[in-house]
Structure 1
């Protein structure tokens, strides 16, 4: 037996603003059959089925441990740099720029509620670079 992810739940200071940010970022559609009770302030979004990689990382030695979920994103139909600019226009901010001279690397960004995520190169960019 196995389990599958049914939903990723994100608690936010301003759930409507954060939901709108991620809706635009991932092209999510609102669920017309929202399973929440009438009057619930929760918004449910749907996305196309996708393959998701799970990365389990050790906590940094000597730092206070804080559980977190962090998304690594690959642009669809654009380059990493174009996606970074688009997301800045949605209200995201750059936390760390880890792009390298050879074109590899990523950009760590923060959403409108301070949650961090990384924007990597698109699969097309990786293929064109040969790595």
Structure 2
């Protein structure tokens, strides 16, 4: 089996896809425009894309599944700061004073995701 997409319900698929495109640096699929019911953020192979699907109801409970991200160019803390400027918010901060831990954040539609430390931060 091959994992093709991670699908996320959205009130405004295009706006949420724009947020995640800015977060990841991955493009929105050619032809996807504001008002579309489905908008794809295209990941580099073999990573699955992020597919945002319009739903009528707002998010009301904690996600049962979320994505854990590891920054590839920044430290965890630098990445958290960058995401805050893009419109994410901190939900729970699990960082410890001596460095370990992660930050659980919300995207603009309140979907949870985590930012962890890179391997180089974990090993010194």
CA root-mean-square deviation: 2.4
Change (3 A) 1:40 1:107: closer
With the length of structure 1 as denominator, give the TM-score of the two structures.
0.74
2:87 corresponds to 1:68: no
Unaligned runs of 5+ in 1: 53-64
Which of 38, 44, 51 is the aligned partner of 2:40? 44
Q: In 2 relative to 1, CA 40–82 (structure 1 residues): closer, same or farther, beyond 3 Å?
A: closer
Structure 2 partner of 1:10: 8
Distance 2:102 2:39 in 1: 30
The structure where strand makes up a greater share of residues is: 2
Residue by residue, what CA displacement relative to the aligned partner does 1:3-49 show, whole Å, maximum 9, x if unpaired? 11111111111212211111111111123377xxxx95322221113
Larger Rg: 1
User: After superposition, where does 1:16-55 map in structure 2 within 5 Å?
Assistant: 16-32=14-30, 40-49=36-45
Q: Structure 1 runs of 4+ off > 6 angstroms?
A: none
Gapped regions of structure 2 (runs ≥ 5): 49-60
